[in-house]
Structure 1
């Protein structure tokens, strides 16, 4: 009986603590979070066909970062993150990009990306959507517009949203097409 009294207290504490606990507040990797804008590149001669852009580099305008995954690659689809703290995001997209060493082979601090570049401006309104206690909120984007900024050598010829009043709520479908 003495051992029973000694064991009953820890057992009761474990039971009480187990009842009061919730499942771990860890956001599963499979939970959809803030979606990225999906752009498909189409052939200007045959707009029903996707067409790769070769040696593509994508960089944010106003900062010096090159977007992960788009660093001298060939792609027919881009997945671009949009700013969640602003209603506008701009990217410069280089076609047939190369590194210009600025005439100094041994000094890469002055190197820069060179190639045919076009700037796209994406405007939208933001809405916060509660996902779960573990995952918090995600941002969805409404009334999304995409503009190809005109320059003297545009390689992007036209753009088309897939739906009127385009929104970006998931990453399962294309949101815009661009012909080149």
Structure 2
């Protein structure tokens, strides 16, 4: 009888100490969302023809596409990220500057990075102007930047 009691006790302890599997379903570090607009009609979105986006002189993220919005990552180990945006034969260099803040999301997701005090600098070859919609980038629900061309 003592064997069964001991076995039952071990089984109860083992079952009560198990943890449920954690799956991260919450949002993590956001990417930058850029929407392109017509400079002559600022309310109308306008696709960029033959758009090529290159990150930090490395790989092309977009190559020769026609899009009216893009999603690009920001550098998590630096306080700035540089991209080259090429439309046809014209190229603009954009430098995104920000402060990084790590925020605890949950045990299953860990931390995410929020980008604060977001600013940008650009050459104006084909990009005519831009508007930063929010200086804190913490989600991917809306466009963070409007670029007019």
Q: TM-score, normalised by structure 1?
A: 0.75
* Residue 123 (structure 1) aligned to one of 72, 97, 119: 97
* Residue 66 (structure 1) aligned to one of 60, 82, 93: 60
Q: Which has the larger radius of gyration?
A: 1
Deviation of the 1:157 alpha carbon: 0.7
Deviation of the 1:6 alpha carbon: 5.9
Give the structure 2 partner of residue 33 of structure 1. Answer: 28
Give the structure 1 partner of residue 68 of structure 2. Answer: 76
Give the structure 2 partner of residue 149 of structure 1. Answer: 123
The yes-or-no answer on 1:177 pairing with 2:130 is no
Corresponding residue pairs, total = 149
Q: Which runs of 5+ in 1 are unaligned?
A: 97-114
Q: TM-score, normalised by structure 2?
A: 0.90
Contact 1:148–1:159 (Cα < 8 Å) also in 2 = no
Deviations 1:89-130 (A, max 9, x none): 01111213xxxxxxxxxxxxxxxxxx3221111000010000
Q: CA RMSD in A?
A: 1.8
Runs of 4+ in 1 over 2 A off after TM superposition: 5-15, 25-28
